[in-house]
Amino acid sequence: MKTTRIRFALLAVAVWAGSAQAQLPAKQVLSLDTARKIAAAAGKPDATIDLGSTDGVKTVKGEWRYSDTKIIEADFRGPGPDKQPTGAPVKTYDYTPHAGGAEFNDSKWEVISPTTLDQRRGNGRLGFNWYRIKLTIPDRIGDFDPAGSTAVFETSLDDYAEIWVDGELSRALGQSGGSVIAGWNAENHLVIGRNVKPGQQIQIAIFGVNGPLSNPPTNFIYIRYARLAFYKTEPGPVALTPSEVNVEVVRDDPAMDEIVGPNPKVFKLADGFDFTEGPIWIDKNGGYLLFSDPNANTIYKYMPNGNQDGKLEVFRKPSGYSGADIAEYGQPGSNGLTVDPQGRLTINQHGNHRVVRDENDGMQTVLADSYQGKRLNSPNDLVYRSDGTLFFTDPPFGFPKLFNDARKQLPFSGVYSIYNGKLQLVSKDFTGPNGIALSPDEKYLYVGNWPRSLTGQELRKQDEPAGEIGDKHKAIMRYEVQRDGTLKNGKLFFDFTHAASEEGLDGIKVDHKGNLYVSAPGGLWVISAEGKHLGTIITPGHAHNMAWGDTDGKTLYLCARSGLYRIRLNIAGVRPETVNTSSARSRL
């Protein structure tokens, strides 16, 4: 172990006094800023695009598409003793198409001119329909530069509307308007993007309703207006009133019912990040979550508050790099976070190419920054064994040019352990080792691969090949863990290569029954300890990493791209602070 010591407390204070203050409101609390609050505080928007005009739609490089809907009969279950849909099979009603999803294929829908949005559509009486448009944030709107601003979608339908943004229908208890029905022929104002960037694409899907529903009218559905307003607001992410979002659970095995209840709920907690990663629950001071935004070089602290707005703070900035060439990096900051058996925060730092640990006296220890004299790549994810042995992955994803970056010194992507202070290479089986987790009894180590082949890059002449699975397969390997922190008998545990999605493998977490929760193509896959796919939890934003939290460890916090979410499950997860040290040692 390298015992370089760094006084990080003074650095954190300096950062807070400088750049961090510029990013946060005065109270250090990033609370819900609804579209109406933004408009009230900011007054007139800084720029507006009329999406009911040809020029406006051209400005956002979009086109309106339209479809009627059809009411259909559907199978369901009546209420059971638990007041959930667990009773006898029943017939009910649904509609088709379900077109709120971001990836929904509307290519065969009718393309309508923006100047005809007020044309009456549908067949009258009890009716529903869809309007969809994919927007691209322009470079400029007249003299206005939209970069970093908040984008608000404003519309009014005759008679009601629900609005999906990037496949998400978010709603908070007691909410009126925004994404849900505002009232009889009322306006909908909805934040569709925070800290937006030119070139960013946003998919909007509007579900129109003819009303009143209990007295179907003798008229039709139409859009009175649709526009996009931009406001220069305080930069940085925001905490939200916990808002329920749509979730789909694919149940491939009855065992999935033991994990996810019949009426699952996913709540959005915060939004506006560049990219969320590496969360860890800290079980002190009431409990809070720490997580990284490697793109923003920041660690955030989120303190839940029941059904009320949580509190979001910058915990540390910079979190992973402060070099002169930082502008070249896409992800210079920290990634994986965890705590050791003594509760000390341990951080994987991309840009600094190292693993560090915060000490209780305010110092920081560098646990690893090189192997055999060559700098590490960009430590990604990590997990502690209960005796303090640390395992971590080291792919090249923190480099600006990934596998082909000139800064890359090692000819391989390794999995390492630190046992009794000694760094040791324990696997070179992967080109992109990523998520990592121990089984509940700590006998097995699971490592997921985001293979080089997904990047389209070729091996450099000096790089070592990793074999067919390591180079081309989205797969999890399982190893037997030895007392000295080495591994043996690595075997293919589960192969996701042919799953119908382009994503690779990212975070892995394990529950107390040994089930794995894997960020994999198409969603959060649940795999049994025997390697059987039990089901998939599909959230609007793809969850890249997770952490078990709350008092009972049954809440899974999800870092999903620009947002932070949570879902309650039925089985508690394995957390660093819940492992019994003495019993774990006796098993090794």
DSSP for residue 218: S
Considering the domain architecture, whether residues 246 and 227 belong to the same structural domain is answered as no
Q: Judge if 343 and 365 occupy the same domain.
A: yes
pLDDT of residue 31: 38
What radius of gyration, in Å, describes the C-alpha atoms of the chain? 25
Please answer whether residues 152 and 242 qualify as being in contact, where contact means their C-beta atoms are separated by less than 8 angstroms.
Answer: no
How far apart are the C-alpha atoms of 119 and 433, rounded to whole Å?
54
Q: Which of 245, 241, 182, 274 is nearest to 34 (CA)?
A: 241
Whole-number Å distance between alpha carbons of 470 and 473: 6
Alpha-carbon gap, residue 398 to 375, rounded angstroms: 13
What residues contact residue 202 under an 8 Å CB cut-off, 6+ apart? 134, 135, 137, 151, 165, 166, 192, 193
Q: How many CB atoms lie within 10 A of CB 98?
A: 14
Residue 362 and residue 310 in one domain? yes
pLDDT of amino acid 525: 98
Give the CATH number, domain containing residue 431. Answer: 2.120.10.30
Please report where in the chains the tokens 């849900």 appear, as a residue. Answer: 180
Per residue of the chain (588 residues), give pLDDT as tens. Answer: 444 434 333 333 233 333 333 333 323 333 334 565 666 555 799 999 999 999 999 999 999 999 999 999 999 999 999 999 999 999 999 999 999 999 999 999 999 999 999 999 999 999 999 999 999 999 999 999 999 999 999 999 999 999 999 999 999 988 999 999 999 999 999 999 999 999 999 999 999 999 999 999 999 999 999 999 999 998 889 999 999 999 999 999 999 999 999 999 999 999 999 999 999 999 999 999 999 999 999 999 999 999 899 999 999 999 999 899 999 999 999 999 999 999 999 999 999 999 999 999 999 999 999 999 999 999 999 999 999 999 999 999 999 999 999 999 999 999 999 999 999 999 999 999 999 999 999 999 999 999 999 999 998 999 999 989 999 999 999 999 999 999 999 999 999 999 988 889 999 999 999 999 999 999 999 999 999 999 999 999 999 999 999 999 999 999 999 999 999 999 999 999 644 433 433 333
1 in a structural domain? no
Tokens of 112: 């309508």
* Cis, bond preceding 237 (omega within 30 deg of 0): no
Domain boundary among 184, 200, 231: 231
CA–CA distance, 460 with 465 (Å, rounded to integer): 10
Domain containing residue 411:
238-587
Instruction: Return the pLDDT at 38.
Output: 62
Q: CA 115, CA 223: separation in Å to the nearest integer?
A: 10
At residue 255, the pLDDT reads 98
Q: Is residue 477 part of a domain?
A: yes
Start-end of H helices in 247-387: 256-259
446 and 518 assigned to the same domain: yes
pLDDT of res. 294: 98
Which of 186, 207, 231 lies at the terminal end of a domain, its last residue?
231
Contact 62, 135 (CB under 8 A): yes
- The reply to whether 21 falls in a domain is no
List CB contacts of 344: < 8 A, sequence separation 6 or more: 357, 358, 359, 360
State whether 376 and 330 are in the same domain: yes
Q: What is the pLDDT of residue 41?
A: 57
What single letter denotes the amino acid at residue 535? G
pLDDT of residue 234: 86
Report the candidate in 52, 82, 86, 403 with the shortest Cα–Cα distance to residue 206: 52
Q: 370-371 and 363-368: which strand pairing?
A: unpaired
The one-letter code for the residue type at 107 is: S
Same domain, residue pair 175 and 271 = no
3-state secondary structure of 454: helix
223 and 242 inside one domain:
no
Q: Domain holding 104: CATH number? A: 2.60.120.260
Contact 535/242 with Cβ under 8 angstroms?
no
Q: For residue 61, what is the DSSP state?
A: T
pLDDT at 432: 96
Is 499 part of any domain? yes
